[in-house]
Amino acid sequence: MAVNLGDADADELPSMLWGLDPVYSAYSKLYITDILQMKESRQVPGVYFYKTHPLFQVDVLGTVVYKRERDDFYCYGVDDSTGVISCLCWKDEKWSDQGESSKCRDPSGSSRGFNIEDELKRLKEAERKSTMLEIGDLLRVRGTVKTSRDAREIRANCFYKVNDPVMAVQILHMLEMPQLYRKCYDQPFQMPKDDLGGTEAGGSSHFHRLLSRSVLALKEFLLEKEVARFRPYDVEFLLHPLIQSCSAEQESDQPGTSFATQIRKLLKETLSVLQDEGQIFRKIRTADEVYNVTEQDKDLHTAIKDVLREDTKREKYAEKGCHVLHILSSVRQRYSQNLSREVLEVALTFLECNSDIISTTEAHYTVL
Domain ranges of the chain: 5-105+119-185, 200-274, 297-367
Distance of CA 205 to the CA centre of its chain: 21
Parallel, antiparallel or unpaired: strands 364-367 and 357-359: antiparallel
Parallel, antiparallel or unpaired: strands 57-69 and 73-79: antiparallel
Q: Tell me what pLDDT residue 11 has.
A: 62
Quote the CA–CA distance of 41 and 43 in Å, as a whole number: 5
Task: List own/partner pairs for 237-242 with CB under 8 A and 24 or more apart.
Answer: 238/214, 239/214, 239/263, 239/266, 239/267, 239/270, 242/210, 242/213, 242/214, 242/217, 242/266
Question: b/e map of 308-324 (b: 16 or more CB within 10 Å)?
Answer: beebbeeeebeeebbeb
Quote the CA–CA distance of 150 and 180 in Å, as a whole number: 28
- 22: amino acid identity, one letter: P
Name the strands in the sheet holding 53-55, side by side, starting at the edge strand that comes first in the sequence: 39-40, 48-50, 53-55
Task: List own/partner pairs for 119-124 with CB under 8 A and 24 or more apart.
Answer: 124/94, 124/98
Quote the CA–CA distance of 346 and 352 in Å, as a whole number: 10
Which CATH class for the 297-367 domain?
A: mainly alpha
Give the homologous superfamily in CATH for domain 5-105+119-185: Nucleic acid-binding proteins (2.40.50.140)
Name the strands in the sheet holding 291-293, side by side, starting at the edge strand that comes first in the sequence: 229-230, 291-293, 280-281
Of 173, 14, 1, whose CA–CA distance to 82 is shortest? 173
Q: Using CA of residue 114, residue 120, residue 121, residue 125, what is the dihedral sign?
A: positive
Is the model's pLDDT at 118 over the cut of 70? yes
Express each pLDDT in 1-60 by its tens digit.
333 333 344 467 777 788 888 899 899 999 999 999 999 988 888 899 999 899 999 999
> 333 falls in which pLDDT band (50, 70, 90)?
very high
Q: Tell me what pLDDT residue 4 has.
A: 39
Express each pLDDT in 173-232 by its tens digit.
999 999 999 989 998 887 655 444 444 444 455 677 788 888 888 999 998 999 999 999
Express each pLDDT in 120-136 by its tens digit.
878 777 776 777 788 99
Quote the CA–CA distance of 151 and 156 in Å, as a whole number: 16
Residue % of the chain over a pLDDT of 70: 83
Helix axes 240-250, 259-277, angle to 10 degrees: 120
Beta carbons of 132 and 138 less than 8 angstroms apart:
no
Q: Tell me what pLDDT residue 111 has.
A: 47
Half-sphere exposure of 57 (CA within 13 A, CB side): 11
Helix (H) or strand (E) holding 59: strand 57-69
